[in-house]
Amino acid sequence: MKNVEADRVWIVTGASRGIGLAVATCAAEAGARVVLLARGQEVTEVAKQCGPQCIGFSCDVTNSEEVKNVVEEIFNSLGRIDVVVNNAGFHRGGKISRLEQKDWKDVLNTNLTGAMNVIQHSSTYLDQGSAIVNVGAVVGFRGFPGDSAYAASKAGLGGLTRALAVELAVKGVTVNMVIPGLVLTDMTRNLSEKALESMRNTIPLKRYGQAQEVAEVVYWVATSTYMTGAFVPVDGGLMSSFGVPG
């Protein structure tokens, strides 16, 4: 991968594992300075393994004041912020008749309000050529029973992406969404083999995605200079199969 990052600074949320860690690693390998954010304390050790130009901060994206303080510390320490990747995610499922109010609020707070908090407090430091990449999900665009909270949060993130693409264009900041399909991560580990196999069979490419495959697209989107307000699926063709019998 061509090194085009120079001293650019990336912030990646939900970066201690899965897609977030793959994105952080991809950016670091391209020469960027990368700040990994995650709720758990282990993110500081994960960052050390990610590369010498990586640092980790424990941060709960649902806590606006905490996010504000961490973003200020990042800017004061590194002198700039160029790319923000909102990947932090939380999932709780359940048919609507049994969905707990707490689960609904926790999912929305992390996936949607959390992204808003990070964007709100980092946008002050973003300038011409900066980029925001929000990580969505197919479920935000295609209905799956029992996934109303997660679907609503990701659909809302899509709306936020579109609105901010227009709002921040005046600053020369791009805002796009990458939409992973079924990627085997910690978030999907509680699904049964039967459920996973059923979902795999709906994917035109007939296989699960890899975190690295999503990360490569996130990197490309973050470095694209004339694309904003775009939704980019990385889903093995799943979103293209709407209406196609299984």
> What's 9-232's CATH class?
alpha beta
Residue 88: CB atoms within 10 Å: 25
Q: Which residues pair with 234 in a beta bridge?
A: 180
Is 121:71 a contact under the CB 8 Å cutoff?
yes
CA distance 40 to 183: 22
pLDDT digits (tens, 9 = 90+) for 28-37: 999 999 999 9
Confidence of residue 246 (pLDDT cuts 50, 70, 90): very low
Confidence of residue 190 (pLDDT cuts 50, 70, 90): low
Residue 35 phi, psi (nearest 5): -105, 120
Fill in the amino acid letter for 131.
Answer: A
The better pLDDT of the pair 182, 118 is held by 118
Query: Per-residue pLDDT averaged across 175-180, rounded?
Result: 97
Model-level pTM? 0.92
pLDDT digits (tens, 9 = 90+) for 14-58: 999 999 999 999 999 999 999 999 999 999 999 999 999 999 999
Tell me whether residue 125 is one of the annotated catalytic residues: no
150, 208, 219, 226: the catalytic one is 150
C-alpha separations of 150 from 54, 173, 232 in Å: 30, 27, 19
- Please determine, for residue 3, whether its predicted confidence score (pLDDT) is greater than 60: no
Query: Per-residue pLDDT averaged across 204-209, rounded?
Result: 89
Residue 232 phi, psi (nearest 5): -115, 105
Residue 200 phi, psi (nearest 5): -60, -35
